[in-house]
Structure 1
Amino acid sequence: MANNIQVPFGLADITIGEGADAITFDGAANFQAEGGEVTLTPILQEINIADFGESVYDEIVTGYNGNVTIVAAEDKIEMMKLALSASEDITDSTSGDTVGLMDAKIGTSLRSKAKKVTIHPRNLPASDKSKDIVIYKMASNGDFTRSFANEQGNVQIELNMYPRDGMDASKPGNFFYRGAIDPNAPVTP
């Protein structure tokens, strides 16, 4: 029996949010100027035992950091809003449409603005979720930078991970999962 070598290659469709308000970088709805990147890092606390001197005896998981970086090729208001979660919509009083952005009020929670992020390798059919990475809550805590030079301008979006709503620190599955099955999906009888 031959081993199937699975070498990752190519772009991924990155969806931020869910439903009608979701923003998807899929090469149709929105474009990426560069490939996206995901980083998931456990936060570890060293366990030291005097009998072993300065050696680390063990490390215990105390949390997780994670981020997703996307470089949007288009300068739409939605891209600035993703890049700068600490912002609020300016709406047209007649139509209710978003016509601009402004700074958020002091004390605004970024977690309240966080959205689900799904990363799906483009070389797989949409129905194959086996290599999808899903992060329950992400928002940008960084800055918005836009260059105005004689070159292609891009909007860099860096999203940071927060624990999911309803998390249970005594159980796994509070930040992310990979694959087709959400370990926190409601069980249907």
Structure 2
Amino acid sequence: MNPEVRKIPFGQSNFIIGEGENIMKFDGKEQLQAEGGEVTLTPVFEDVNIADYGPAVYDKRFVGMETSVTIVAAEETINIMELAMGATTAITATDGGATVGLMDAAIGTSMRAKGKRVFIHPRQYADTYTDLDITIYKMIADGEYTRSAANEQGNVTVTLTGLPRDGMDPSKPGNFYYIGGTDPNAEVVA
């Protein structure tokens, strides 16, 4: 096999979080990563036991999905801090404009409403090669924020956890993520 054709993973990936005006790109240009990012897709199963076969598991049924993304941002900005800490509310300038700070959200605030789409593209491939792209429909920050005050390079770890997509249909596949360039849940435009 031609070595150029082998798909051996190597190097950074672009992590694009959100859509439209609120997009944040960890692509080595707009936002920098202090370390490589990581995505984990973990299926959740329930055992099916049959008395006729004793304590052995007869089958496993797929009952859900756990997805997570970790990015270590090299910079610390209000926007990155807000991304890293899901349970926040923006403090805006007195004229109602720009965000000037963050505060903890009200108790009982829905994190689902703050969920964002996450798109991951390996940088080693051209933008037009989408076969190995991973898109997770809805993710929220539920990790902790820690700031080191040591005499060393600081960074901000962003930990995101997936939720089922809006409009989920548990009787059909494609509720948490897809791999490749075609969204199986995209609306068909007539």
Q: TM-score, normalised by structure 1?
A: 0.96
Q: Offset at 1:12?
A: 0.4
**Comparing 176-185 and 46-55, the one that deviates more:** 46-55
Q: Secondary structure of 2:130's partner?
A: coil
For residues 2 and 126 of structure 2, the distance between their equivalents in structure 1, rounded to whole angstroms, comes to 23
The equivalent of 2:17 in structure 1 is 16
Deviation at 1:50, TM superposition (A): 1.8
Counterpart of 1:68, as a letter, is: V
Matches within 5 A, 1:60-71: 60-71=61-72
Q: Which structure 1 residue ranges, 5 or more long, are not aligned? A: none
Aligned residue for 1:63, secondary structure, equals strand
In 2, the alpha carbon distance for the partners of 1:2 and 1:89 equals 52
**Match of 1:100?**
101
Match of 1:169 in 2: 170
Q: CA RMSD in A?
A: 1.3
Query: Which 10-residue stretch deviates more, 120-129 or 82-91?
Result: 120-129
Q: Which runs of 5+ in 2 are unaligned?
A: none
Task: Quote the Cα distance in structure 2 between the aligned partners of 1:118 and 1:106.
Answer: 30
**What is the CA–CA distance in structure 1 between the aligned matches of 2:11 and 2:143, rounded to whole Å?**
27
Give the structure 1 partner of residue 145 of structure 2: 144
- Report how many residues are paired: 189
Secondary structure in 2 aligned to 1:160? Answer: strand
Q: Displacement, 1:185?
A: 0.4
Shift of 1:2: 5.7
**Deviation for aligned residue 1:119:** 0.2
Shift of 1:152: 0.8
Who is 1:112 aligned against?
113
Question: AA paired with 1:134?
Answer: T
Residue 79 of structure 2: SS of its match in structure 1? helix
Instruction: For residue 82 of structure 1, give the secondary structure of its aligned residue in structure 2.
Output: helix
